[in-house]
Amino acid sequence: MLCSPEELLQKNQALSNTWQRYQATPSFESFVELAVSINSFTEFLIDKGITALHHASHQLEQVTLALFNKDVSHPLPQAALDDLNERVLALGRMANTHATAAAGLVERRHDLQHPASHDMRVGQTWLIGHDQAVWADLQAQLGYFGMTAEFVTWEQTLPDSAEAAPLLLLDMSHLPEAEWNTRIQALRQRFSMGQLICLEVRSDFDQLQQALRGGCDSCLLEGTPPHAIIEHIMELNERHEQEAYRVLIVEDSKTASHLIRRTLEQNQIVS
């Protein structure tokens, strides 16, 4: 189940308020209330599939539970108070960052769901990879923004009913590097008008070169969060919708014309 940025911020604020109440009245009862609030927030993040925030919240919960022993009195020792305060503030900053990024994407949701008023060029979406569970969060967020991503493994083949111009998201993390070029080229030949985005690419030249030579449109480095992947998809779509520029270069020097052409291509201008 997905959550709105507002819901995430409300849940985080509830946790912050509980922590402030403990700081104001540092009793065992208010500490129990804090532990319950942290557990509630952690379970909420699990349910919503927000993995990065869940990891931080789970760590905060473990630290809090470790303070439930007979040798700990209230108020807590200053070192423990400082540690908890830093963790609560860090979790709050992460929640705000996540909510802000999601809110920026929500602003475009209306356009995605009303193609008559906004020519959405992203067609059928396919996610090709090794393990679907790894991409559950991305699939859920794509659905929230009006796109349904069907998952297939690299061992499977896309059905013949696949659209001629789909969006293909390729998880490269478990695909042998020796197969990259062949796999991407085959998909590019079959879907010449589709968009191919390689995911989980390491930041080294050889991998980037293989992916781009094979015919992918872009590469996203390993660890790129789901909201950034969706933002990239939308940016690609916006570029495709813009009216194409075509430029005629008249230049005596082949070297100069090549440099001009390369600069224009970097800005998606056909010369």
pLDDT tens-place string over residues 67-85:
987 678 899 999 999 999 9
In a domain, 218, yes or no: yes
Final residue in a domain of this structure, among 55, 83, 106: 106
135 shares a domain with 61: no
Residue 7's nearest CA partner among 51, 45, 56 is: 45
Q: Are residues 99 and 185 in the same domain?
A: no
pLDDT of 173 strictly over 60: yes
Predicted local distance difference test score (pLDDT) of residue 104: 56
Contact 161, 120 (CB under 8 A): no
What is the span of the domain harbouring residue 179?
Answer: 121-242
The proportion of the chain whose per-residue pLDDT surpasses 90, expressed as a percent, equals: 30
Same-domain pairing of 129 and 50: no
Please, which pLDDT band fits residue 54 given cuts at 50, 70 and 90?
A: confident
CA–CA gap between residue 19 and residue 138 (Å, rounded): 31
Residues 102, 14 share a domain: yes
pLDDT at 121: 45
Which domain CATH number covers 85? 1.20.120
Confidence band for 238, pLDDT divided at 50, 70 and 90 = low
**pLDDT confidence band for 268 (50 / 70 / 90):** low
Asked if residue 248 is part of any domain, the answer here is no
Tell me if 111 is assigned to some domain: no
Domain for residue 39, yes or no? yes
With helix as H, strand as E and coil as C, how does the chain read?
A: CCCCHHHHHHHHHHHHHHHHHHHHCCCHHHHHHHHHHHHHHHHHHHHHCCHHHHHHHHHHHHHHHHCCCCCCCCCCCHHHHHHHHHHHHHHHHHHHHHHHHHHHHHCCHHHHHCCCCCCCCCCCEEEEECCHHHHHHHHHHHHHCCCCEEEEECCCCCCCCCCCCCEEEEECCCCCHHHHHHHHHHHHHHCCCCEEEEEEECCCHHHHHHHHHHCCCEEEECCCCHHHHHHHHHHHHHHHHCCCCECCCCCCCHHHHHHHHHHHHHCCCEC
Q: Are residues 27 and 63 in the same domain?
A: yes
Same domain membership, residue 22 and residue 134:
no
Domain contains 255: no
Residue 156 lies in a domain: yes
Same domain, 55 and 148: no
In a domain, 261, yes or no: no
Angle 176-177-182 (CA atoms, 0-180°, nearest 5)?
Answer: 95
Q: Which of 71, 106, 141 is the last residue of a domain?
A: 106
CB atoms under 10 Å from CB of 180, counted, come to: 22
- What is the pLDDT of the chain when averaged over all its residues? 80
Select the more confidently predicted residue: 205 or 157: 157
Inter-CA distances, 198 with 146, 158, 172, Å: 21, 17, 7
Which residue is associated with the tokens 């950034």? 228
Cα separation, 62 vs 84, in Å, equals 11
pTM above 0.75, yes or no: no
pLDDT at residue 23 above 90? yes
Residues 146 and 230 in one domain: yes
Domain containing residue 200: CATH number: 3.40.50.2300
pLDDT at position 117 is 37
Q: What is the mean pLDDT of residues 169-189?
A: 91
Q: What is the pLDDT of residues 103-162, one digit of tens each?
A: 655 554 444 444 433 333 456 889 999 999 999 989 888 877 778 889 999 999 887 766
Verify that 99 and 127 share a domain, yes or no: no
| For residue 15, pLDDT beyond 80 | yes
Residue 267 belongs to a domain: no
Whether residue 208 is predicted with pLDDT greater than 50 in this model: the reply is yes
The pLDDT value recorded for residue 108 is 47
Mark whether 102 and 191 lie in a shared domain: no
Cis peptide before 75 (omega within 30 of 0): yes
One domain, residues 128 and 233? yes
The more confident residue out of 164 and 114 is 164
Q: To the nearest 10°, report the CA torsion of 12, 15, 16, 18.
A: 160
Residue 41 sits in the same domain as residue 142: no
User: Which pLDDT does position 221 carry in this prediction?
Assistant: 87
**Number of domains, the chain:** 2
